[in-house]
Structure 1
């Protein structure tokens, strides 16, 4: 064996040893969230990590984004705020993870860290919220509008039944990427601090990354950071959806690939278009299209080749595709954990 080859093998073993803990943590978090979610009793008693991060963001917004400041200063303050928003929670998470590692044996520390990190994943809650829309759509349009209002930003009163169902499927696709795949991706790369870093960046974008008079300048840095950190997960989520379509009857994986290649880049979001296009193609439906935000009509291109006139059955099919994509991701994580453990043992 040459010296160069020996060095490469040694580096590979070191990388496997480093990645084993965070990848294992992500697997525990994924399984824990799928089984139990984040109990409502905990939300009532202690809140949720996103709520805690939101309070930090709100405080910085009120202090650094006052109307009397010029736009250039507000944009500069937005960069400072974004740095604080991601640094403070990430450092706190790193300290917590380090403390757990010092107190508990390796396997127990990974298990506990994964359970804590499951609060940053939204598999179960997303499924339940979208399922509620499907169930209420079978009851009445007003009930479906009320259900979808909990998960979309547009005005549900302007939506007919097909519009409500399209909005729910679009939310399902987009949040599969940024609510599930992305936090698990960053968790697998950096453990609990990696997931908290991502969640802080994503929460900042959802709160201040809007093109409104108040946040156009101040939220610029948060919006750009969110685009960057969501880029790998958006591509990965499209892959999981395509693989899910391959394994389910009645789904069209080839159409998912075709629509993805054609329509993802025309979407208003550089990242959301990927899972949305893959899901539209797999289901044989049309998504996106014209919509209204705060009473303002926005012309958006359609995504997909099928009909935009959806029924509750289409939303149930989307949920089946989503569940299979989540399962494939979990199995991929478990496989990676086993391979990393095997490689690390050779060290």
Structure 2
């Protein structure tokens, strides 16, 4: 399926619904979120196809089969829903509402803003608890700069894989593409680890996640750089740092939006950090930048919101032209 006006209108409608409604707690306390359904399916496949008694080669093959089954089923569900809902404006509205549940603009903003508010209301201990909800590193090892840096990195990375990437695949392949993307991304977060249990079984999920985020990650960095002036940053400096430092990140994709954000804010992010499984001694992105501070979380959120608005405006313009 090629990008066309109807798909782009669906993108714009889903973005607007997500911005206004987000993920209401009252709803998801009563019904499982679609990502929960996806996660439950992955869990069932993992329990059946990743026994410790199997060889590494068997586990890797089982992981490939798991990803094929997962993506095929996601595409099938998305295709059935799209066919059922494409006849009238009510169906279009329902399809847009379904799509909006798989985009994370409002929820990401709320989670990161909660870290900033916790700093103000409860100091560093409260901020550590809040940031632990969005990053995997050990919060007790974080000082004020570390908490701010973690929140900003999460904002940049999740702008890519929680917003730009799902929207990209929605525009390109419609609802089947969006659901398949979320299935791949969820699989990567659940089994795409380097632990003994998942290094082989999760190999296919991790590699496919890298592939489907390849273009969106670079688009994310570009959007962040373009809106840098909203925080008195430089577009040129942000682009320069992104092009220079993105490859220094351990992920082939996360470095693009993160280094662009570092350049836009004039701060150093990434670098050495401690996770539950151990320490990571990564280089800094924009190493010449200053240390992150509490105020930089608010600045990162302004960049994030403006980049989201720019993305929606681009898709709206394309919808009018195509």
TM-based fold match above 0.5: yes
CA distance in 1: counterparts of 2:292 and 2:167, whole angstroms:
31
The CA deviation at 1:40 is 1.1
SS at structure 2 position matched to 1:182: helix
Partner of 1:44: 29
Partner of 2:5: 20
TM-score relative to the length of structure 2: 0.97
CA distance in 1: counterparts of 2:42 and 2:140, whole angstroms:
30
SS at structure 2 position matched to 1:290: strand
Contact 1:78–1:217, Cα closer than 8 Å, also in 2:
yes
Residues 1:266 and 2:248 aligned together: yes
The CA deviation at 1:253 is 1.4
Residues 1:82 and 2:67 aligned together: yes
* CA deviations over 1:92-133 (Å, ceiling 9, x no partner): 1210110112xx42x443332111100000000000000010
Structure 1 pair 86–253 and aligned structure 2 pair: CA distance change class (3 A): same
Residues 1:182 and 2:165 aligned together: yes
CA distance in 1: counterparts of 2:159 and 2:19, whole angstroms:
13
Q: For the aligned residues, what is the CA RMSD?
A: 1.4
Residues 1:279 and 2:261 aligned together: yes
* CA deviations over 1:277-333 (Å, ceiling 9, x no partner): 000001000000001111512110000144453221111000001000000000001
Partner of 2:19: 34
Select 1:110's aligned residue among 92, 98, 112: 92
CA distance in 2: counterparts of 1:287 and 1:164, whole angstroms:
11
Contact 1:256–1:280, Cα closer than 8 Å, also in 2:
yes
Partner of 1:206: 189
SS at structure 2 position matched to 1:289: strand
Q: Which ranges in structure 1 are unaligned for 5 or more consecutive residues?
A: 1-13, 341-347
Select 1:220's aligned residue among 203, 211, 222: 203
Contact 2:131–2:139, Cα closer than 8 Å, also in 1:
yes
SS at structure 2 position matched to 1:45: coil
* CA deviations over 1:129-161 (Å, ceiling 9, x no partner): 000101112231110010001100111111111
Contact 1:37–1:122, Cα closer than 8 Å, also in 2:
yes
Aligned length: 321
* CA deviations over 1:165-192 (Å, ceiling 9, x no partner): 1001000000000000000000001111
CA distance in 2: counterparts of 1:164 and 1:300, whole angstroms:
17
CA distance in 2: counterparts of 1:304 and 1:133, whole angstroms:
23
TM-score relative to the length of structure 1: 0.90
What does residue range 106-185 of structure 1 map to in structure 2 within 5 Å?
A: 107-138=89-120, 139-185=122-168
SS at structure 2 position matched to 1:302: strand
Partner of 1:229: 212
Partner of 1:253: 235
Partner of 2:55: 70
Contact 2:231–2:302, Cα closer than 8 Å, also in 1:
no
Partner of 2:274: 292
The CA deviation at 1:250 is 1.4
Partner of 1:330: 312
Residues 1:61 and 2:43 aligned together: no
